[in-house]
Amino acid sequence: MQEKIHIDPALVERMLLDMAAHGSDGGTGVSRTVYSPEWVGATGLYAKWCEEAGLQVRMDAVGNVWGRLEGADADRKAIVSGSHIDTQTPGGRYDGTLGVIGALIAVKVLRERFGTPVRPLECVALCEEESSRFPSANFWGSRAITGRVGPTDPDTVIGYDGKSIAEAMRDVGLDPARIPEAVRNDIDTFVELHIEQGPILEHADLAVGLVTGITGIRHYGVELTGIANHAGAFPMDLRKDPVAGFAEITSGLVDTAHRWGRPAVTTIGRVNVKPNAPAIIADSVGFTVDARHPDPEMCQKLHASHESLMTEVASRRGLGLKWSILMDHPARPSDPDTLEALKAAAAIQGVPTIFMASGAGHDSQQMARIAKTAMIFVRSKDGRSHTPEEFSSTEDIVAGIEILAKGLHTLAYS
């Protein structure tokens, strides 16, 4: 029987609190946006910790911080774990940060106990995932690694303060022209530890889940147009009322996902009615649709079903209809062999788990373009995240890191 790996709970707590100090609101809230002074402090602390753990440390051209434990066979592709170091504004102490710290602790413990791995083993603090400073920059760090930052992006990605991301990079000593140097083609497997950000594990009374795949996400911007008229004098049967069409479409889209059942989800998040007056039949309704499913084939069917319904309702009601796709991230199933390694690791550690899908997007979704990927989820209290109230217990976090460490041992030391 293989020996268990033990993680020090006190070390976990200390590192989480020390990292939370960079961007703390004085309570449990943290605001740490990419290339901000808070981000600079956090990445500096992470680099210091990596050095203290005996790792080779570097910051790449986009600001991702890497800690590397060289392998006996340095020519083989690396096994990597990590997550993002930026937060919502305000966010909490755990989203992203848990995976950043968990990966470092896991690599540190493996080095101390087992020495040099066969494959290179790395931890990484990815510079940005949340889009909390630059609304179109999401997955900036992992997109740079996978070669998906375009040549004009640094100057055209504009923050809420009007500053381009290129300017923000220069402010912290990074050169936007060198972003292509961040591309990696030598990563074999990427494993991301993350808080669940939902209620599934809590409802199952389990500390840890193994992620079978990350949901596909498509955002539509939709506009229905009709004819504005008097709310009292114009008969119902002669109206071209976009609000009526919107009500039918909204009900139909949400009901479709509800009838399909978990893990399909559809959300109408933003609505703009014009002229938005109590006694006027509206002229137009603009709204967003967020549709998600972790199975690639079912995701496409969900999108097709939604588009068909919108088209049918608009045509039958005599309404104008146009939509644009604002965001489209494909569903990414986890690598089966990596999942099996994590499942075996959980069994050795004596931690009960379930297989589950991720309903949120993650950096692993980008990393899957160049590497085998899998994720480990840690239970979120009340399923909450993107808020200062997000919380995961130290006991649950330790269980997640122990599974991660045991899994990385299998992948890197075999």
- Domain match, 92 and 196 both: yes
Domain membership flag for residue 324: yes
Provide the residue count of the chain: 414
Task: Kindly indicate the confidence band of residue 73, based on its pLDDT and cuts at 50, 70 and 90.
Answer: very high
- Final residue belonging to a domain, choices 281, 306, 328: 328
Instruction: Determine how β-strand 216-225 pairs with β-strand 121-126.
Output: unpaired
Domain span holding position 314: 216-328
Q: What is the rounded CA–CA span in Å between residue 410 and residue 414? A: 6
Pair (232, 201) in one structural domain: no
Q: Give the Cα separation of 404 and 102 in Å (integer).
A: 8
Provide the pLDDT for residue 334.
97
Given a cut of 60, is residue 183 above it in pLDDT? yes
Q: How confident is the model at residue 74 (pLDDT cuts 50, 70, 90)?
A: confident
CA distance 404 to 100: 12
* Distance from C-alpha of 144 to C-alpha of 174, rounded to nearest angstrom: 13
* Residues 104 and 170 occupy one common structural domain: yes
Q: How many domains does the chain have?
A: 2
Q: In terms of domains, do 20 and 79 share one?
A: yes
- 180 and 275 fall within a common domain: no
- Residue 3 is assigned to a structural domain of this protein: no
Of 313, 328, 343, which residue constitutes the final position of a domain?
A: 328
Tell me how crowded residue 23 is: count the other CB atoms within 10 A of its CB.
Answer: 23
One domain, residues 316 and 395: no
pLDDT one-digit tens code per residue, 329-361: 899 999 999 999 999 999 999 999 999 999 999
Judge whether 4 lies within some domain: no
Q: What is the CATH number of the domain that holds 279?
A: 3.30.70.360
Are 64 and 167 contained in the same domain? yes
Residue 253, domain member (yes or no): yes
Token pair recorded at residue 48? 């210091």
Does some domain include residue 366?
A: yes
Condensed to tens digits (0 to 9), the pLDDT of residues 195-209 reads: 999 999 999 999 999
Token readout for 189 is 């497997």
Give the whole-angstrom CA distance, residue 276 versus residue 246: 14
What pLDDT is attached to residue 1? 54
Q: What is the pLDDT of residue 367?
A: 97
State mean pLDDT over 381-408.
97
Other Cβ atoms closer than 10 A to 98: 26
Residue 273 has pLDDT above 80, yes or no: yes
Say yes or no: 23 and 119 in one domain: yes
What's the mean per-residue pLDDT of the chain?
Answer: 97
Do residue 49 and residue 154 come from a single domain? yes
Domain stop point among 328, 363, 395: 328
Q: For residue 2, what pLDDT is reported?
A: 81
Same domain, residue pair 301 and 164 = no
Q: Domain holding 178: CATH number?
A: 3.40.630.10
> Are both 66 and 188 inside the same structural domain?
yes
> Are both 199 and 70 inside the same structural domain?
yes
